[in-house]
Amino acid sequence: MQDRVVIVTGAGGGLGREYALTLAKEGASVVVNDLGGARDGTGAGHNMADEVVKEIKDAGGRAVANYDSVAEPEGAENMVKTALDEFGKVDGVVSNAGILRDGTFHKMSFENWDAVLKVHLYGGYNVIRAAWPHFREQSFGRVVVATSTSGLFGNFGQANYGAAKLGLVGLINTLAQEGAKYNIKTNAVAPIAATRMTQDILPPEVFEKLTPEYVARWWPT
């Protein structure tokens, strides 16, 4: 990862934070994107992204904060612009941003269905799509998206989340084929760690052990 430039979305906490720190430690320049909102996607703030950037810089790394929403194409374009303006290029994208609005299917409002798909599925599409022309032009690109066992196998009360996460698998499988001749490699990973996304899903004894720091150690760079 030495001298590569990578955008990490949802990098203000949890696994996203660990991905950003790991990439920076390996020599990458990192665009630390985080909207700074709550677990359900409401609210916004700069503190989460700023703190990760400070941690990277204090350790001698290179990073810049970005606060745009992945749910908006314009936000994704601005993330890529931030990478180009600060570091001159973009080599990779880690699509990790996510929210939860759980509920059984018969009670799930369209608003809660739509909000989750916009962040996870459309959010992944938006950021990858913004970076894709640069990957093709330079004949190099790396894409990692966070999928989930909720998409692969289903999970009670997560129809919206599961649909979005499995949609990302289909996207990545297709992009792996389309990107091959341009040296663009794409992967979907399904990690699980103790974060605010899983705090009321994992059993307490498991939650205590699966720290983001521990799980990120197994994430290849």
pLDDT at position 181 is 98
Q: What is the mean pLDDT of the chain?
A: 90
Per-residue pLDDT tens digits for 58-79: 999 999 999 999 999 999 999 9
Concerning whether 182 is annotated as a catalytic residue, the answer is: no
Across residues 34-40, what is the average pLDDT? 87
Domain 5-216 has CATH 3.30.930.10: no
The stretch 137-147 carries a mean pLDDT of 97
- Cα distance between residue 20 and residue 65, in whole Å: 11
In terms of pTM, does the model score above 0.85? yes
Which one is catalytic: 19, 67, 161, 214? 161
The answer to whether residues 154 and 161 touch, using CB atoms and an 8 Å cutoff, is no
In order, the DSSP letters of 50-90 are HHHHHHHHHTT-EEEEE---TTSHHHHHHHHHHHHHHHS--
Domain ranges for the chain: 5-216
